[in-house]
Chains A and B, each alone.
Chain A
């Protein structure tokens, strides 16, 4: 029983990260119909910039803010000077473009930071916390907290503010939104900014759990993308649920079936699910709009 709880706790931490990445995918997709496969690189950049700043003896909190700001600006520039330039391209070439961008970012990162892994100090101490038979790192609590804060913030932004309504308007009907005086370009920039910022936060909070390096974004990006698809591309709540589900599946699969098949189990379930219900868990709303 204690083991089961421990697997669930582990899965929850991993799943939370997938959820943030998945929401990042969905946010950008909804506004601009772009599937940004460079999403994982936002996490990598967040973690690596943070490592560099800490190396320069910048205080933790300030380094955190600087790293998130830097990645956010990077996300905006990416949208403004790369993605929007090729707006009339087909969705397929846009996807390939974002793959290219992610390879480019990784290439530069490996030139700047080298190919070694780096460690980052946790926010609070290294001592683990035990309760009810399960043990987790203090940093895992921070990860969960960050996930919840980000998700709550996004929910509030999207559902309760004017900006959120504008973003939604763009995702429902770009032309009508433009007629109402909303600039879809600006909203797309905002979507990129939100995804980049949340990605950077996620990248920073998970770095102390293990290590971070120039290529951590690849696997995380793929997992997050799977969660976004599983949740029904376009539905943020679906993405969050799918993210947590993927994390739990991985953890339980590795624990009870085979650790060598850890990734395989999660993806087999994903494929099986999509074969049965191609639109994902909550996918009625918007699949097909982006031409996928």
Chain B
């Protein structure tokens, strides 16, 4: 009897372990069912039913760790598709975007783009949300000469430039230059940095080091921390002992929030500048009181309500934020902006190509478009099209981000 119970218990334990494993991988079991249609969803409708739709694929990370990026991206694209089709579509043809979920996984992303090409015969692809999946997709897209616009951060996606491969977010290069410009204005020359040792942080470290001489900056301390480290007090103590005038932190939350807290606990007096990777409301929520006075470099969308009315981006940012709020009852974040800009750029490119898919890759290089992320000016050498001036410096004051003039 007892033995039976014991084996029952083991089965139960085994079952629950399997369940947990399944949950932590997929998060949304519904997305796994069936390999044919259920995973793909289409957004279309309205306008020009008689004509053949313009088919575009979109691979986003809708489940898994990158889902906070992928979900708003998809929502922004869906919203824009509805708007475009509501006003007659593109060139009188309805726009159809076929969504795929890469589950935040590199292999899944490549599978998804292959499926979009072979099965749906799309003329271009948006995505993906993360840098890893995007790089995988970019290799395939470049082989197939399929235009692709990524929403991921890594500089390597568009550097070196490959025909047809573009991206919308700012890179660490822009953030670095923006921070250094700000320091130049303030007459600060001695900098300490404490960056995450992951790909994002070390990429940022490389850019900070590369551009320091150009802006007359001396790096007096270069420290690292692990993404999962519970405490960075030792690194901060070391930095406190140097003559640094400012501390630059590059990482994604919670790391920078922890650093802000511990810097305060150690009685830091120099200002902290945190990178755009941490510029979201989570930073203030986690760092609490210690966030006060911290400076961050960010996209304008972070402080949409404070953008100057004369700013070239003011109109589109206001339109986007209002529409997104109305559609989803949630504030639009930077990721939603990347998706929104991506589809808009693609359509601008299509217009320039006279709706000929074979010319699309080439015409995308001529697109000049004022978006919510920044003013894009693509060229044959620049497939990101952004300039550091489309980033802004903000300061945390009374628990909100305040733009620094």
Binding site for B on A (CB under 8 A): 2-3, 6-7, 10-11, 13-14, 82, 85-86, 100, 103-104, 107-108, 110-111, 115-119, 121, 126, 128, 130, 135-137, 139-140, 206, 209-211, 213, 215-216, 218-220, 250-252, 254-255, 259-260, 262-263
Interface mask (B214-235 → A, CB under 8 Å = 1, otherwise 0): 0000000001111011111111
Beyond A6-B266, A107-B21, A260-B197, list 17 extra A-B contacts (CB 8 Å).
A3-B241, A7-B237, A117-B257, A119-B286, A126-B290, A128-B265, A137-B265, A140-B265, A206-B230, A209-B261, A210-B261, A211-B258, A218-B228, A255-B237, A259-B223, A259-B225, A259-B234
Q: Does B267 contact A (CB under 8 A)?
A: yes
| B:263-320 near A, CB below 8 Å | 264-267, 282, 285-290
* A262 in contact with B286 given A104-B16, A211-B258 (CB within 8 Å): no
- Whole-angstrom distance from the CB of B6 to the nearest CB of chain A? 6
Q: List 13 A-B contacts (CB under 8 A).
A: A3-B237, A7-B234, A100-B17, A107-B21, A107-B23, A110-B24, A126-B288, A128-B266, A210-B231, A259-B225, A259-B232, A259-B234, A262-B229
Q: Find out whether the CB atom of A118 lies under 8 angstroms from the CB atom of B286.
A: yes
Interface mask (B140-174 → A, CB under 8 Å = 1, otherwise 0): 00000000000000000000000000000000000
State which of B230, B262, B288, B289 has its C-beta within 8 Å of the C-beta of A216.
Answer: B230
Report whether over half of chain B's contact residues are helix, strand or loop; otherwise say mixed.
helix
**Complex CA distance for A79 and B9, rounded to whole angstroms:** 14
Across the interface, name the chain A residue whose C-beta is closest to B266. A135
Across the interface, name the chain B residue whose C-beta is closest to A211. B254
Report whether over half of chain A's contact residues are helix, strand or loop; otherwise say mixed.
helix
Q: Find out whether the CB atom of B228 lies under 8 angstroms from the CB atom of A219.
A: yes
* A251 in contact with B224 given A117-B286, A130-B267, A135-B266 (CB within 8 Å): no
- Whole-angstrom distance from the CB of A102 to the nearest CB of chain B? 11
| Nearest 5 A/B pairs, CB to CB | A107-B20, A137-B265, A254-B234, A117-B254, A135-B267
State which of B21, B228, B265, B285 has its C-beta within 8 Å of the C-beta of A209.
Answer: B265
* A119 in contact with B265 given A103-B20, A211-B254 (CB within 8 Å): no
**Complex CA distance for A263 and B289, rounded to whole angstroms:** 29
Chain A residues within 8 Å of B231, by CB: 10, 14, 209-210
